[in-house]
Chain A
Amino acid sequence: MSNTTTDIGEFEENTGEPEHRTRSRIWQGIFWVALIGFLLIAPALLYPVFVMQLLCFALFAAAFNLLIGFTGLLSFGHAAFFGGAAYIAGHALKVWGFPPLLGIATGTLFAAALGWAVGSLAIRRQGIYFAMITLALAQIVYFLVLQLPFTGGEDGLQGIPRGHLLGFIDLNQPLAMYYTVAAIFLIGFLVIYRIIHSPFGQVLQAIRENEPRALSLGYNVDRFKLLAFVLSAALAGLAGSTKALVFQFASLTDAHWQMSGEVILMTLLGGMGTIFGPVVGSFIVVALQHALSGIGSWVQVVIGGTFIACVLLFRRGIVGELARLLKINSL
């Protein structure tokens, strides 16, 4: 990306001096080490199920960020992919007797297909309409989940078996389950990292910055947007399928519009368009929900208040603000 661009607004990029780039790399390295270190020792410090929940949501938020942060598209319907995949994976594991990884893959593929259908409709309109369309389409998925016979309606899909990984590792062992989830998270997160830093990811960012210009440079903008949408939906589905395997159930909450809102908050709070922001944001939101679970629906007031505060006071998010303080461009 050239540094002669002038109309870049919020997302300031400055990749001029090599010294700058080195500092950026060092800090990114520190974050990577911290993240992998956390993944390794977390079960010794925290309740493993809680950490697995953190990781599922972190992957969900990172997948969502691929769209809002790196393509500039606000999807208000990502719960459909997360929840929809959870149901499909759960059904495959429970009724069809699929082994764990195949079950997760089924859920992920379903989310990708759904993402293709939703994405190709939603990209027909731009900006704020895109958000409204994704929200409305996700509501169709929600009604289907509520009404189809295999989903268990209000009760959700219960009793999903964890099974044996590769036929011999018993996932009912907490640590075996934990490291499987940690590996899935890390693979998903690395895939996202690679996408962002690939030539494809650079084009996505060009579309985010200036769509007409990307179009006039000869890029088929709609195809790039659609592919980004499908990838983001598939990774959200990976997170949802994994969550279904960990908690052994899929519920209506996973597919509800409020879930779409939560993933937006996680990303916004951590920092849209940053690499580690969604992870930080989702950790904070999930931890907050746990800490406040005793006060009932006041949680919703706190979540809503956080939303307002983020939008008004720090739109860069925590990691975005940190990157600005450290004077580096990507973290």
Chain B
Amino acid sequence: MDPMIRLILAQGMLGLNNGVFYAMLSLGLAVIFGLLNVVNFAHGALYMLGAFLALILYSYAGAWVGLDALHIGFWPALIIAPLLVACFGMLIERFMLRRLYKLDPIYSLLLTFGVTLVLQGLFINFFNASGTPYPGMPESLRGVVNLGFMMFPKYRLFVIIFSIVVCFVVWYMIERTRIGSRLRAGTENPELVKAFGINVPLMVMLTFGFGTGLAGLAGVLAAPIYSVSPLMGANLIIVIFAVVVIGGMGSIAGAVVTGFSLGLVEGITKVFYAPAANTVIFLLMVIILLVRPNGLFGRQG
């Protein structure tokens, strides 16, 4: 195989790997925005929280209950951490965000920005600001697989496949099931849905929990790849915002597709001009704003 093509494929795979996190986070943002009209700035911080919970479950939780030898591993963490993040998200929704729905959406953006600073500050105080590696990668996912054009870490391949499945399930749930249709109806006309006897405030709380849980899940998946650091979410959320501006928050599928493709674009940019890799998504956003101001999948207005 031509070495150039090989290089592009290899960087594309690594880019796709980042795309996983863009897709899962912008998916959660889109779900929340769809029903609550809230842009959750804390999404990055909740992703960080998910990663830290995985780390804590493995390295500290056992010692806290007096069982030094107990390490709660990756697989249990993949379920426990997102649930805990979702609960935290629901508390924020129930006690803070709920008071702001009648106001301009900038207030909920500012509130979640405050939550971000608090979470980030707390973790910088209790953990190392420069990051801690996650030691709990399962034995079965260690090692590499031969993709023909490169040796790819097994774990990263697992993350790509797993997240595609998650995104598909979420899309299917929202677009093709009864729960999803209620949710979409709640977005369109909450008063009418209330009249049908559906508990809209509860639905809103669960939706927010679900969206934030997705962020927590992405965090657990990220823990074995990147080092777990208090700032891992803050830098990501700004990229996610650009992704969301490019894709538009109107469509679930749009958010996912945009996320994966932008990861790919970013990876391939590394081949041609590495210094531009961390700004290419922002530059694409500029181009999109010039030629298609409402975003690729955006609705008018």
Encoded as 1 (CB less than 8 Å from any A CB) or 0, chain B from 6 to 18 comes to 0000000000000
Q: How far is the CA of A129 from the CA of B288 in the complex (A)?
A: 13
Partner of A128, one of B99, B105, B113, B117: B105
Q: How far is the CA of A239 from the CA of B39 in the complex (A)?
A: 30
Binding-face segment, A15-23, A178-186, A298-306, A321-329: A298-306
B293 to chain A, nearest CB (A): 4
Q: How far is the CA of A307 from the CA of B109 in the complex (A)?
A: 11
* Interface assignment of A48: CB less than 8 Å from any CB of chain B: no
Q: How far is the CA of A124 from the CA of B100 in the complex (A)?
A: 26
Binding-face segment, B53-61, B83-91, B188-196, B276-284: B276-284
Instruction: Look across to chain A and name the residue whose beta carbon is closest to the beta carbon of B116.
Output: A304
With A129-B245, A143-B278, A147-B275: A297-B109 Cβ-Cβ less than 8 Å:
no
* Interface assignment of B131: CB less than 8 Å from any CB of chain A: no
B241 touches A132 (CB 8 A): yes
B113 touches A261 (CB 8 A): yes
A257 touches B238 (CB 8 A): yes
CB-defined contacts of A264 to chain B, threshold 8 Å:
110, 113
Interface size on B, residues (CB 8 A): 43
* Interface assignment of A127: CB less than 8 Å from any CB of chain B: yes
User: Which residues between 16 and 41 of chain A lie within 8 Å of chain B, taking CB atoms?
Assistant: none
* Interface assignment of A217: CB less than 8 Å from any CB of chain B: no
User: Which residues between 94 and 118 of chain B lie within 8 Å of chain A, taking CB atoms?
Assistant: 96, 99-100, 103-107, 109-111, 113-118
Q: How many A-B residue pairs have CB under 8 A?
A: 117
Interface size class, chain A: 35 or more
With A132-B245, A133-B245: A304-B293 Cβ-Cβ less than 8 Å:
no
Q: Which residue, A129, A137, A302, has most C-beta atoms of chain B within 10 A?
A: A129
User: Which residues between 186 and 214 of chain A lie within 8 Å of chain B, taking CB atoms?
Assistant: none
CB-defined contacts of B109 to chain A, threshold 8 Å:
74, 128, 131
Q: Which residue, B115, B116, B282, has most C-beta atoms of chain A within 10 A?
A: B282
B282 touches A137 (CB 8 A): yes
CB-defined contacts of A303 to chain B, threshold 8 Å:
117, 121
Q: How far is the CA of A257 from the CA of B106 in the complex (A)?
A: 17
Instruction: Look across to chain B and name the residue whose beta carbon is closest to the beta carbon of A72.
Output: B104
* Interface assignment of A139: CB less than 8 Å from any CB of chain B: yes
Q: How far is the CA of A138 from the CA of B235 in the complex (A)?
A: 13
With A143-B279, A297-B124: A136-B241 Cβ-Cβ less than 8 Å:
yes
- The 4 tightest CB contacts between A and B, nearest first, are A304-B117, A307-B114, A300-B121, A304-B118
Give 8 A-B pairs besides A125-B294, A268-B110, A308-B115 with Cβ atoms closer than 8 angstroms. Answer: A10-B104, A131-B106, A136-B239, A139-B282, A258-B117, A297-B124, A304-B120, A305-B118
